[in-house]
Amino acid sequence: MLKSRSIIFSLNATYALQIHGFRLNCWEEHTCEVKELFEKPESSECMRDLAAIGDKNWHDYCSEEVHDMTGHLMTYPIQVSPPDSLHAWST
């Protein structure tokens, strides 16, 4: 019984590392950046940073001027407000 728990724990840890690595790889691909804060995806700092990258890229994409974009992560141009109403996101 102890051996099977050990194997299950080992598999769960392996899967968690694979998911973590996949997430880091996706963020590197979409943001063209590797940041230490990406190591803690549950942190508010990480979420704010990714949202800021998406917002900046959306504004650059919609701009009349040509800008170099930081990757291709963009904020979706729709805002959902309670109670479930949709609004166009202003640029």
Domain that holds residue 37: 2-74
The number of folded domains in the chain is 1
- Start-to-end Cα distance in the chain: 59
Specify if 83 maps to a domain. no
Q: Please give the full DSSP string across 13-69, using - where no structure is assigned.
A: HHHHHHHHHHHHHHHHHHHS---GGGG-TTSHHHHHHHHHHHHHHHHHHHSSS----
Specify if 24 maps to a domain. yes
Overall average pLDDT of the 21-26 stretch: 89
Residues 6+ apart with CB under 8 A from 74: 54, 57, 58, 61
Specify if 70 maps to a domain. yes
Q: Is 1 helix (H, G, I), strand (E, B) or coil?
A: coil
With cut-offs at 50, 70 and 90, classify the pLDDT of residue 6. Answer: low
Length in residues, the chain: 91
Specify if 81 maps to a domain. no
Provide the pLDDT for residue 50: 92
Specify if 90 maps to a domain. no
With cut-offs at 50, 70 and 90, classify the pLDDT of residue 8. Answer: low
Provide the pLDDT for residue 45: 95
